[in-house]
Amino acid sequence: MAVVRGMTRVRSQSPPHCLSLNSQQKCFFTMFRNILIGISAALILQHILSVIYSLGFHKRAYNHRPGSCRVVTGIDSGSEDIHVLRNGLALITSGIDLTPLGHLMDPSGLTWKGRIYLFDFKQPNANVTELPILGSFDHSDFRPHGISVWEEETQTTVFVVNHKQHREAIEVLSLNQDNKSLQYLYSITDPLMRSVNDVVAVGSNSFYFTNDGYNNQLFKRFLERFLKFPWGNVIYYDGDAGRGQVVVSRGLEPNGINRSPDGRYIYVSSPIVGTVTVYEQQADHALQPIQVIDLSTSPDNIYVDSTSGDLWLGCHMIGYQSMLHFQNFTQPAASQAFSPVMLMPVAYYKSILFRQCQCKTCNV
């Protein structure tokens, strides 16, 4: 009581602030605290605004149909990725697992079945056919995501990301092109497979894959995304050694991954940042970042033209529309096929120059 009264007296006895050393210190701390609060508030506001901006409320999509586009029916139940072989045969994964979205997912997604479809670009007017998977393959535990194919003279090896019920896996299959079937070979699991999105084969027995985040639980993943924690990564898996190794340790939702036709470059997309990062593959399979291409749209999977080396990106143009689409598949979301034009490396300088964007959009 006496102490309190004493303090009250001291305060009331020193009328103007900042006269004694004591109150100068107090002033300094108050000022310092206010500056800290101000900076934090500005940073939080900036973060919230950047998240709102990335949802694309300010964007408008216009239809461009430069080539002859056609809707291929029969693959509209969660098709995620496509790989086109040199002879024009395309393998398409279908039945993506959206259950991590919980109640935010359109319930009809629960009826989807994991399948791999075949489309022949040499017969563009034909429809898809389902590729049967033969061997001791568990069809009921197949929720495919990214796909990649390694082509050799005698063997065509297919790698498919599978979100199994209890763990992530990459299924290895062999494509029989004569009778159009897949033979299941084996499954690869690795402690480094946390939330696998896409895979790119660099040999019949080795590949890179992306983990698009760290948490698998809906709310934790939401926080991870919202706070933009770079907890995704890129892993190289060596089939001979039988284990993976981290080659890009931090990434904000690394998603699609693909390689240049000569295998020198590896491309990784990040829809949340709106970029494609170009890496140079080193002799030990480490990835050396060379360039970040800013796209102002959200690139998902990357297709590389095997002759020209051009990239074609499947993009979610307007973020909030994509989110609404996941909740109700009857809600359309603008999508974009996008090809940034690359110049080949100039002289000795190890860079790929980004010249211009050709916005070749095919909205259907």
Strand-strand pairing, 181-188 and 133-134: parallel
The H or E element containing residue 48 is helix 21-54
Tokens describing residue 67: 């080539």
Under the criterion CB under 6 A, does residue 134 sit at the interface with ligand NAG? yes
Q: Residue 84 has what DSSP assignment?
A: E
Sole window of 123-131, 196-204, 209-217, 273-281 interacting with ligand NAG (rule: CB under 6 A): 123-131
Of the pair 32, 121, the CB lying nearest ligand NAG is at 121
Question: In angstroms, what is the minimal distance from the CB of 172 to ligand NAG?
Answer: 16
**Radius of gyration in angstroms for the set of CA atoms belonging to the chain, rounded to a whole number:** 26
Q: Residue 240 has what DSSP assignment?
A: T
Is 198 marked as a binding-site residue? yes
Which one, of 238, 251, 255, lies nearest residue 96 by Cα? 255
Among 127, 129, 177, 288, binds ligand NAG (CB under 6 A): 127
Under the criterion CB under 6 A, does residue 99 sit at the interface with ligand NAG? no
The phi and psi torsions of 294 (rounded to 5 degrees) equal -90, 130
Tokens describing residue 69: 């586009």
Positions 141 through 200 that interact with ligand NAG (CB under 6 A): 176, 179, 181
Under the criterion CB under 6 A, does residue 339 sit at the interface with ligand NAG? no
Q: Residue 344 has what DSSP assignment?
A: P
Question: In angstroms, what is the minimal distance from the CB of 330 to ligand NAG?
Answer: 5
Under the criterion CB under 6 A, does residue 132 sit at the interface with ligand NAG? yes
Is 300 marked as a binding-site residue? yes
How open is the CA angle 38-44-49, to the nearest 5 degrees?
Answer: 120
Of the pair 5, 103, the CB lying nearest ligand NAG is at 103
- Bridge partner list, 173: 158, 184
Under the criterion CB under 6 A, does residue 328 sit at the interface with ligand NAG? yes
Report the 10 Å Cβ neighbour count for 39. Answer: 10
Question: In angstroms, what is the minimal distance from the CB of 183 to ligand NAG?
Answer: 6
Is 80 marked as a binding-site residue? yes
Question: In angstroms, what is the minimal distance from the CB of 327 to ligand NAG?
Answer: 7
DSSP string, 222-268: HHHHHTT--BEEEEEEETTTTEEEEEEEEESS---EEE-TTSSEEEE
Contact indicator for 302, 197 with CB cutoff of 8 Å: no
> Which one of the listed residues 64, 83, 145, 285 is annotated catalytic?
145
Sole window of 5-13, 91-99, 119-127, 281-289 interacting with ligand NAG (rule: CB under 6 A): 119-127
Question: What burial class does residue 171 get, using C-beta atoms within 10 Å of its C-beta: 0-12 exposed, 13-18 middle, 19+ buried?
Answer: buried
Of the pair 12, 68, the CB lying nearest ligand NAG is at 68
Under the criterion CB under 6 A, does residue 109 sit at the interface with ligand NAG? no
Q: Is-catalytic flag, 145?
A: yes
Of the pair 107, 289, the CB lying nearest ligand NAG is at 107
Positions 63 through 92 that interact with ligand NAG (CB under 6 A): 73
How many angstroms separate the CA atoms of 208 and 277, rounded?
14
Under the criterion CB under 6 A, does residue 42 sit at the interface with ligand NAG? no
Tokens describing residue 177: 């092109």
Residue type, 193: M
Residues annotated in the binding site for Ca(2+), as ranges?
Answer: 80-81, 147, 197-198, 255, 300-301
Residues annotated in the binding site, as ranges?
Answer: 80-81, 147, 197-198, 255, 300-301
> Known catalytic residues?
145
